[in-house]
Structure 1
Amino acid sequence: MKNILVTGGAGYIGSHTCLELLEAGFAVTAIDNLCNSSEESLQRVQKLTGKTLDFQKVDLLDIDGLRKVVASKKFDAVIHFAALKAVGESVAKPLLYYRNNITGTTNLLEAIGEAGIKNFVFSSSATVYGIPKSLPLTEDSDTPIHEVTNPYGRSKLMMEYVLRDWQAANPKVNVALLRYFNPVGAHASGEIGEDPNGIPNNLLPFVSQVAVGKRDELSVFGGDYETKDGTGVRDYIHVVDLAKGHLKAIDVLEKDPGVVVFNLGTGNGYSVLEIVKAFEKAAGKPIPYKVVDRRPGDIAACYADPAKAESELGWKAENGIEEMCADGWKWQSQNPDGYK
């Protein structure tokens, strides 16, 4: 049985990936500082799978605590989710993002290097592409750091550079850089899903909270983009499809490829208003919204060319926007207050 260390394992994508790992027969150790997640998610993962995992509350900035966990077992691979991820907050608090995301990653690499772990899957982001010069985005599209529009995205791109340099200095290690587009939805059981602290930073949790009556209306940031209806267009991917991509990445790293890069998206772009309409259908009720000013750091449109992931990872998104909204609504309606 392969042993996998998952950082940020109690978070939204982390918890869904822990579930898929357990279902596939992996042994899982999850670490998380619980600053924007809940241990309850992992309790539910264990209940759903009928299997146990090892949870350790550790902050990646705590290098001694991190070393202790990493050295406690012989891990076959690390999946690194742990990071702060709100675009707007990163604009307001850039030093917090650089300290947490970059220093946390270098601490992790030091610890796993000492332990001799050679396979590393990194949770990157489509934000590293900055303002797209053409769409869809391929893995060969430019990633000029001066064009990345917010500190969150820059921290992800910087971490990609750190990982490339680390691998170049340690040729026996392998790194998969997975550039996510926009994860949405929830596990089909409705037992685990996205549970943001405070006001949601992402579209679907906000729409969900409006639908369940926690918020009066949705704020649509920007109605004057050069898109089909003036609202931002994104490539939304079901979180379960995304989670499964990480298992495929572990398989690829077993072939000693060095550094590999994959877009994880569907290749379809949906506008904010198209998402609202699809969610209204899933929830069976109208979603009131108001168009407001654009958010700092946002771009007009972003969607993937997922062909490389299909041909080289053997991975393809299986769920469409209807499933994403239906599963997201099931989670929110069954858990109006999230994990609380």
Structure 2
Amino acid sequence: MRVLVTGGAGYLGSHVVLALVQAGHEVDVVDDFSRGTPASLARGEAISRQRVRTHAADVADIDAMERIFAGANADAVVHLAGLRSASECVDRPLDAYETNLTTTFTLLRCMTWYGVDRLVLSSSAAVYGDAGADGGTPFAEDAPLVPVSTLGRTMVTNEQLLRDVARAGAALRVAVLRCFNTVGAHPSGRIGEDRNGAPSSLLTRLGEVALGLRGHVEVHADGHSTLDGTAVRDYVHVSDVAAGHVAALAALDEPSAEAVRTWNLGTGEASSVHQVLRTFAEVTGRDVPHRVVPTPPETVTTSVADTRRSAAELSWSATRDLTQICRDHWRWQQEHPRGYPSTVTPETPWRRGVGHRLRLVPPLSAAVSR
């Protein structure tokens, strides 16, 4: 299958691209390199020994995307482009809504024009909101969507948009993947989280302390009523999440009465921030000093996945535990303490969806031949 991956040069995107290629798919990547880096794609090509076609473009630019679709001959789209950092979305809500929604609008238009009817949307566990201090029940896919963050609200809007479009009669099959806290690095140590502008993950900050690049890690422990006072999350290895995207893409070829199907990608295991600190210290053999600081707004106390549906319908489950996550991340960060080596990237604007030429478009349900 020929798959167009948006945001494929980013942290999760580079792992998804590698997993797709290793599964036998041909891949085109679209990325404006505001967060991703060509180095991650080059590393993936070296691992897989397969070339990936790359297009430097803003996914919200409908003219650029139409040109890419015209030449890609895609069978499916995996959509990862957008602002995915919860803290960044809090600070830049207008950018978050504009980016996360306009990229989806553009893709749906181009998919209609070029007859592409399969879409995997990489969504977020932030759509669920907060299970509360007592942990509550792990979030199942049919749980109420009560997001407490800007990121979660943009993703809920995206998901609802896809359901409305499908309900209106579009020839569209969609897999929505609600990814829980995606962390770790490729087991090879060649692909991992870069430090290219976006706020770094907890594990990257821990690694910086362990490497002596910062004196301590800040822990938000004053606003949570959990057992140890820190937030509880479902930490899932990035390679497992990438495998989930491959499994969901395959599932779109299976008969289903639902045009839009949803699956959680998580482990089902709850880990507090203090538990992560202890595990990371055990894996690295190094002290990781921390300091308690005020909890920022829109911070969820507890979020853990119910993974029964993804196990039953995708035959997918996470295979790596927190220890393996920390081990793989530490291997990556020891070899890349400041991320990927500096590379020349295309000079592309970060802001999306502004000033594009208006055009008449066919209804989304219209049949379009490639």
- TM-score w.r.t. length of structure 1: 0.96
Partner of 1:135 in structure 2?
A: 137
Distance 2:21 2:153 in 1: 32
Aligned-partner Cα distance in 2 for 1:315–1:19: 17
- State the SS of the aligned residue for 2:71: coil
- Deviation per CA, 1:87-112: give whole Å up to 9, x if none: 12211211011111101110111111
Provide the C-alpha distance between the structure 2 equivalents of 1:252 and 1:138, rounded to a whole number of angstroms.
19
Q: Is the 8 A contact 1:200 1:206 kept in 2?
A: no
Contact 1:36 1:197 in 2 (8 A): yes
Query: 2:223 and 2:62 mapped to 1: Cα distance?
Result: 46
Whose helix proportion is higher, 1 or 2? Answer: 1
CA distance in 2 between partners of 1:288 and 1:200 (Å): 20
Distance in 1 (alpha carbons) for counterparts of 2:197 and 2:254 = 42
Residue-by-residue CA offset, 1:101-138 (whole Å, 9 max, x unaligned) = 10111011111111110110001011001123632110
Aligned to 1:287: 288
Count of residues in correspondence between the two structures: 336
1:14-61 superposed Cα distances (whole Å, 9 cap, x missing partner): 100111111111101011111111110000000011110101111012
Aligned equivalents of 2:51, 2:198: Cα separation in 1: 32
Who is 1:323 aligned against?
Answer: 324
Quick one: distance in 2 between partners of 1:26 and 1:224? Answer: 46
Answer whether contact 2:35 2:198 (CA < 8 A) is retained.
no
Structure 1 residues 135 and 31 mapped into 2: Cα distance closer, same or farther (>3 Å)?
Answer: same
Q: Return closer, same or farther for 1:158/1:338 CA change in 2, 3 Å cut-off.
A: same
Q: Percent identity?
A: 39
Q: Which runs of 5+ in 1 are unaligned?
A: none
Give a deviation string over 1:225-276, Cα, whole Å, max 9, x none. Answer: 1212000000000000000001110111012431100011000010001001
Structure with larger Rg: 2
Which residue of 2 is the match for residue 70 of structure 1?
Answer: 69
Which structure ranks higher in relative contact order (CA pairs < 8 Å, sequence separation ≥ 6)? 2
State the secondary structure of the residue aligned to 2:215: coil
Pairwise CA distance, 1:212: 2.0
Structure 1 pair 232/285, CA: closer, same or farther in 2 (3 Å)?
same
Residue 193 of structure 1 corresponds to: 192
TM-score, normalised by the number of residues in structure 2: 0.88
- Mark the CA change 1:198 to 1:11 in structure 2 (over 3 Å): closer, same or farther: closer
- Give the 4+ runs in structure 1 shifted more than 3 A: 198-201
User: 1:50-129, aligned counterparts within 5 Å?
Assistant: 50-129=49-128
Superposition pairs for residues 206-221 of structure 1, below 5 Å? 206-221=205-220
What SS does the aligned partner of 1:75 have? coil
- Number of the residue aligned with 1:310: 311
Distance 2:21 2:90 in 1: 36
Task: Give unmatched runs, 5+ long, in structure 2.
Answer: 342-370
